[in-house]
Amino acid sequence: MITFWFAILVLAWVLYFVLEGFDFGVGVLAPFLGRDDHERAAAIRTIGPFWDGNEVWLVAAIGVTFAAFPDWYAVLLAGTYLPMVGILLLLAVRGVALEFRGKHDSPAWRRRCDRLLAGSSAGVVLLWGALLGVFVHGLALGPDGTVTGNGLGRSLSPLLTPAAGLGALAALFGAVMLGATFLALRTTGPVRRRAVALGRHGGNLGTVGLLLAGIATGSRLALVAAVLSVIAGMLARQGREGGAFTAVALGVAGAVVAVFTAHGSVVLRSTLDPMWSLTRESAAAGPAALRLITVAGVIVLPGVLAYQTWSYWVFRRRIASERVPS
């Protein structure tokens, strides 16, 4: 049961990082690939109907973590307090910039929303990447299972490690590649041309980033991710956009799985003493709670996947910058 819920938890986080990964990427790229308001609007409209549903996977992922592994949830969030708050604040700015952009006619309002969107998307990606690096590296867990330290440094110092830095870098590459291949797939016209070009050249950069992250995590799966990113670059050069997007998505998925399985059944390593690490078994919820979410999950999750897939089908058409009303 614990292994089953660990698998569901990893699946939820993978879906979150892949799905929201591409809309983060589009957010970062929109001001660069869209040269005027029409083109930017077209780029942002590719994620318009999806980003909110994508973000709900974060609600699901953190909810599953809380429900199935309450100790992990508690230690992780309290231990990385400030970076987590940073992510929440940036996500708040980002969501509002996305939703509010098209509701006002003034060009200045839209420019401001575009900048906020790009800045907050990049910030969130970097922070998530750094935190994923921290999850692999571990936290300074004391014998009582809480993070030691004082003042601001308590939850900021984990970010000052090479693992966090490389994680941030890899995440930015991953999101930009996801965004570029997604835009290539979903737009026509100049935005698509530029996205295709970026996808062609970006693959190599992504490979380097993922390789570095692989070295930092010491995981073979990250190696697989890097190989997939090479494949993505090749597919993009051949003009096979669907294949390129799939390859990048699989690469990101592989990297996320690598992060969560880096230390076997240890879910959060203590950097002070391995004895104080948090394991799946010690972090898991009681059998009754696991049974309850199993019943709920088995009934609900297939439905969620079905209607989310349907919503992607409904909005499957390419978006041309010329057709967007100003």
Partner 1 sequence: MDVLDLTRLQFAVVTIYHYLFVPLSICLSATAAGLHLTWLRTGDDRFRDLTRFVGKLLIVTFAVGVVTGLVQEFQFGLGWSAFAKFYGDVFGPTLAIEGMLAFFLEATFLALWYFGWGRLPRRLHAATIVIVAAGTLLSAYIILAANSFMQNPVAYALDPVTGRAHLTSFVELLTNEVVLAAFPHTMAGAAMAGGGLLLAIGVRRLAADPAFRTLSRLGAWLMLAGGALTAITGDHLGKVMTAVQPMKMAAAEALYETTTGAPFSVFALGTLGHEKPFLTVEIPRLLSFLGTGSFSGTVQGIDDLQAQYVAQYGPGSYVPMIPVAFWTFRLMIGAGVAGMALAAYYLWASSTRKWRLPLLPAALQAGAGVPGWARRILLLAPLLPAAANTFGWVFTETARQPWLAFGISTVADGVSPGLTSVEVVASLAGFTLVYGLLAVAWYRLVVHLCGKPLAEVPEKSPAADPAPAY
Contact with partner 1 (CB under 8 A) among 208, 223, 250, 289: 289
**Under 8 Å between Cβ of 211 and 223:** yes
Site map (CB under 8 A) of partner 1, residues 153-192, x = contact: -xx-------------------------------------
Contact with partner 1 (CB under 8 A) among 215, 230, 304, 320: 304
> Judged by CB under 8 A, does residue 280 bind partner 1?
no
Give residues 99-138 in contact with partner 1 (rule: CB under 8 A): 99-104
Which residues contact residue 228 at a Cβ distance below 8 angstroms, ignoring those fewer than 6 apart? 247, 248, 250, 251, 254
> Judged by CB under 8 A, does residue 326 bind partner 1?
yes
Which residues contact residue 152 at a Cβ distance below 8 angstroms, ignoring those fewer than 6 apart? 82
- Is residue 158 within a helix (H) or strand (E), and if so which, with residue range? none
Tally of residues, the chain: 326
Stretch near partner 1 under the rule CB under 8 A, chosen from 144-152, 205-213, 218-226, 258-266 = 144-152
Stretch near partner 1 under the rule CB under 8 A, chosen from 96-104, 171-179, 235-243, 258-266 = 96-104
64 is written with which tokens? 């599953």
Smaller CB separation from partner 1, 9 or 224 = 9
> Judged by CB under 8 A, does residue 32 bind partner 1?
no
Four-CA torsion 302, 17, 204, 29, nearest 10 degrees: 110
> Judged by CB under 8 A, does residue 296 bind partner 1?
yes
Smaller CB separation from partner 1, 47 or 136 = 47
CA 150 → CA 22, 29, 54, 212, 318, distances in Å? 37, 38, 36, 31, 52
Stretch near partner 1 under the rule CB under 8 A, chosen from 47-55, 182-190, 193-201, 249-257 = 47-55
